[in-house]
Amino acid sequence: ATGYACALARRPPTAQRMTADQTTRHTTATHRNLCTLPIALLLVLALPVLTACGEPPWNNPNPLVQDDLQTYQSMMAPAPPKHLDPALSYATDESLFIMQIYEPPMDYHFLKRPYELIPGALASAPEVTFLDADGQPVEESDPAVAFTRYTLRLREDLHFQPHPAFALDDAGQPLYLFDNVADGARFKQIPDFPVTGARPVHANDYAYAIRRLADPKNASPMLGFMSQYIVGMKAFSEQVAGLPRDSWLNLDDVAMDGLEVVDERTLKITIKGLYPQFVYWLAMPFFSPIAPEVDRFYHNPGFADRNLTLDWWPVGSGPFMMVKNDPNSEIVLERNPNYRADYFPTEGAPGDLEAGNLVDAGKRLPLIDRAVFRLEKSGLSLWTKFMQGYYDRSGEVHSNTTGVFDQAFVVRPDGVEMSSELADHRITMSPDVKPGLYYYGFNMRDPVVGGYTEEKRKLRQALQIAFQTEEYLNVFYKGNGIAAHNLIPPGIPGNLEGEAGMNPYVYDWVDGEPRRKSLDYARQLLAEAGYPNGRDASTGEPLKIFIDVQSQAIDNTSMNWIDRVFAEIGVQVEFRPADFNRTREKLLTGNTQIYSHGWLADYPDPENFLFLLYGPESPLECDCDGANNSNYASEEYDALFRQMRVLPPGPERDALVAQMVELYRRDAVWLYAFYPKEIYLNNSWVYNNKRHGISKSTLKYTRVDEAEREKMQALWNQPITWPLYAALLLFVSLLLPGIVAYRRRQNATVRHAISRHTLSRHIGG
């Protein structure tokens, strides 16, 4: 239409300069052009329909990939991962990638709850031997136990992914080892290397990974902790620190007393004393195998300057391998063709069969070929693309993202449910209680709220009752949390349900559920503690409590709510907000009264939470960043903890855990605590969505129906074309009067020209 309008704007030669034949031909052409106008308009109007036939939705943000690989579409966290080296990373967002690429010795059952540890790269669970100081075997119960030895036997079918580090030349030597920067300068990223190789995973690869943890140059966050347990690790670290590092150092050349490689499939690790929780650490990425060839490859001259490092391009034996790493855009994982035989579990927790979580039982893993993770800095953008079907899962929907949360859920007294919009999309919800807790703790050394007398206990219990945790969660977390009666979260041994799990100092059991004790009872406790009506009985001064919080973690609304609930029992509150560094400094120096904190499980053992109150973990006792920020000091608790820590799971250990929980409740160490819930949403074509609170190596269980995804994307992204049609009709309505006027003028010109031509012929004749 634009081209035709431009043609009309160009005036033809004047009729006076045309012969009659020329005039006739021009008139005919004009009529022909005008007659074809309706056809041209129809073609223009039909263009949107014609171009849409057989094409994906116009607004699809994902590039089209022409292959048959089953692809899972997901997103990264708001920031890209910083570390992908398993020796360096200690972040949940990073383990999302690391645990798909690497395979530690142990793993977790995907479906069973409580969480169950199972062999990963191992053929069977580790063989455990107890030794005395002379290295002779003794019974576990023998007081002479000085060491524990774990014997790891690998599966026979473990292989590393294809990678240029394993490529060999005709002489069997590494193909890509360079003497200078110039020789390897043409390689910018791993896909640039034309030749790859692979080999089986050996026991020494796991030993090499532990040596890398001990290498001070790597600055692993595990060095300080693990050197307390693995025999010879500290001495190894000190020895390596003194060696010259002008070039690559083969860590195999330095011995570590606690490591013994028996053969290609057998490794022995010796630790100091008894520490049953060590087996959980074997399921963490820190203990993933690292081939010495890979370490050597990434130490080529100039590679680090181009991010050709293990921290950017991980190399593992897990179900997936990294084929693209553009952290400012996307990270792409694809199936590792060398991955071992692995199958979907054939049994799960109670209710899994009914929930459809065993539909894929016995199928070979992984169930997808590719996973694409795109960077989404905006939560709103992520949510929009999820609702359009361009992301398979939503990521965690937080209660503090008010617009999204309110659109996604309806808050009920007994929890949250999906909105009708989501239900119409056939979206499913995967709620889970995180194996962690958030809490406000008392500083037990504070002269006002600290101490262990009966009066001090009653003061803290009164404050616990006044803090209406359930209301707080409903108001500020949209019900997305569970009030904690215990410092051990659900899913971990030591957490009991029902009346047996209730905190009797704060709640009563009424009509089959816990009910918070009355404010009158709280006022009574307050009076018995020496503060009748919230005033000091000896001075008459009002009781004021001080709460230290991080500035970004609290707002005026929540502060006003806390003011109100404590005012109900006559207690005044003053908040002391500060940034993270200042708050941490206060905790380290014990300069707090009430503080906020949280803890997420590293492994599913009660010890991982009970140590939060272990006396030697106090920052004031260990002169370190200890976890006992309440500075709780109870000889009885500490003795129980030391006993519990070294016992294997069983009734004896459970009894000790129960006694420690009772002390925590009786002494009222924390003002309040809750277990956070997480909610993920899944589009209807995504299967096996059960959340796992500990393990991140769950991508291999995910299945997608791409045909269903394409169908729903087309349905949810129908182009809204009426504005285009309206604009075209408006354009035509403005154009037609000009066309009609132009046509009339042309007809008049033609008639005038013919008339003059006829007259001149008549006169001439």
Q: What is the mean pLDDT of residues 453-470?
A: 97
Q: What is the mean pLDDT of residues 570-598?
A: 92
What pLDDT is stored for residue 729 in this prediction? 81
Residue 423 pLDDT grade (very low, low, confident, very high; cuts 50, 70, 90):
confident
How far is it, in rounded angstroms, from Cα 566 to Cα 671? 12
What does the block give as tokens for 757? Answer: 């031509």
Q: What share of the chain is helix, strand, coil (3-state, %, to 5)?
A: 40, 20, 45
Give the β-pairing of 147-153 and 266-272.
antiparallel
Region of poorest pLDDT, from 113-127, 355-369, 731-745: 731-745
How far is it, in rounded angstroms, from Cα 553 to Cα 596? 9
Residue 215 Cα to chain centre, angstroms: 28
What does the block give as tokens for 522? Answer: 């709280």
What pLDDT is stored for residue 392 in this prediction? 95
Residues 6+ apart with CB under 8 A from 444: 450, 451, 452, 630, 631, 632, 633, 667, 669
Residue 611 pLDDT grade (very low, low, confident, very high; cuts 50, 70, 90):
very high
- pLDDT beyond 60 at 31: no
Amino acid at 7: A
Amino acid at 272: K
How far is it, in rounded angstroms, from Cα 552 to Cα 450? 27
Q: What is the mean pLDDT of residues 433-453?
A: 95
- 442 or 729, higher pLDDT: 442
Q: What is the mean pLDDT of residues 560-565?
A: 95
Q: What is the mean pLDDT of residues 640-654?
A: 94
Residue 241 pLDDT grade (very low, low, confident, very high; cuts 50, 70, 90):
very high
- pLDDT beyond 60 at 45: no
Q: Rounded to 5 degrees, what angle do the CA atoms 285, 379, 696 make? A: 15
How far is it, in rounded angstroms, from Cα 669 to Cα 449? 10
Region of poorest pLDDT, from 487-496, 592-601, 655-664, 725-734: 725-734
Amino acid at 550: Q
Going from the C-alpha of 613 to that of each of 435, 547, 762, the distances in angstroms are 17, 20, 121
Q: What is the mean pLDDT of residues 271-300?
A: 97
What pLDDT is stored for residue 736 in this prediction? 78
- pLDDT beyond 80 at 50: no
Q: Do the Cβ atoms of 648 and 278 come closer than 8 Å? A: no
What pLDDT is stored for residue 90 in this prediction? 87
Q: What is the mean pLDDT of residues 319-342?
A: 96
How far is it, in rounded angstroms, from Cα 38 to Cα 727? 16
Q: What is the mean pLDDT of residues 156-166?
A: 98
Q: Report the 10 Å Cβ neighbour count for 39.
A: 9
Residues 6+ apart with CB under 8 A from 164: 175, 176, 190, 193, 195, 196, 197, 297
Q: Do the Cβ atoms of 629 and 587 come closer than 8 Å? A: yes
What does the block give as tokens for 573? Answer: 């509150």
How far is it, in rounded angstroms, from Cα 358 to Cα 109? 13
Compute the mean pLDDT over every residue in the chain, rounded to the nearest whole number: 88
What does the block give as tokens for 388? Answer: 């359009």
Burial class, 674, CB count within 10 angstroms (exposed 0-12 / middle 13-18 / buried 19+)? buried
Residues 6+ apart with CB under 8 A from 583: 548, 549, 550, 595
Q: Quote the DSSP letter at residue 394.
A: E
- pLDDT beyond 90 at 530: yes
How far is it, in rounded angstroms, from Cα 281 to Cα 152? 13
Q: What percent of the chain has pLDDT over 90?
A: 70
Burial 690-720 (b: 16+ CB within 10 A, else e): bebbbbbbbbbbbbbeeeebeebbeeebeee
Region of poorest pLDDT, from 313-327, 487-501, 619-633: 619-633
Residue 755 pLDDT grade (very low, low, confident, very high; cuts 50, 70, 90):
low
CA atoms within 13 A on the CB side of 642: 9
Burial class, 296, CB count within 10 angstroms (exposed 0-12 / middle 13-18 / buried 19+)? middle
Q: What is the mean pLDDT of residues 366-383?
A: 88
What pLDDT is stored for residue 739 in this prediction? 81
Q: What is the mean pLDDT of residues 632-648?
A: 96
**Unique residue bearing structure tokens 């003028």:** 745
Query: Residue ranges of the alpha helices (H) in 57-128?
Result: 92-101
Residue 35 pLDDT grade (very low, low, confident, very high; cuts 50, 70, 90):
very low
- pLDDT beyond 90 at 764: no
Going from the C-alpha of 104 to that of each of 232, 281, 423, the distances in angstroms are 22, 9, 39
Give the β-pairing of 259-263 and 106-108.
unpaired
- pLDDT beyond 70 at 332: yes
What pLDDT is stored for residue 749 in this prediction? 73
What pLDDT is stored for residue 480 in this prediction? 86
Q: What is the mean pLDDT of residues 294-305?
A: 97
Region of poorest pLDDT, from 166-175, 391-400, 649-658: 391-400
Q: Do the Cβ atoms of 496 and 657 come closer than 8 Å? A: no
Going from the C-alpha of 479 to that of each of 221, 286, 402, 586, 676, the distances in angstroms are 35, 36, 13, 31, 10
Region of poorest pLDDT, from 71-80, 597-606, 624-633: 71-80
What does the block give as tokens for 4? Answer: 């035709």
How far is it, in rounded angstroms, from Cα 742 to Cα 353? 77
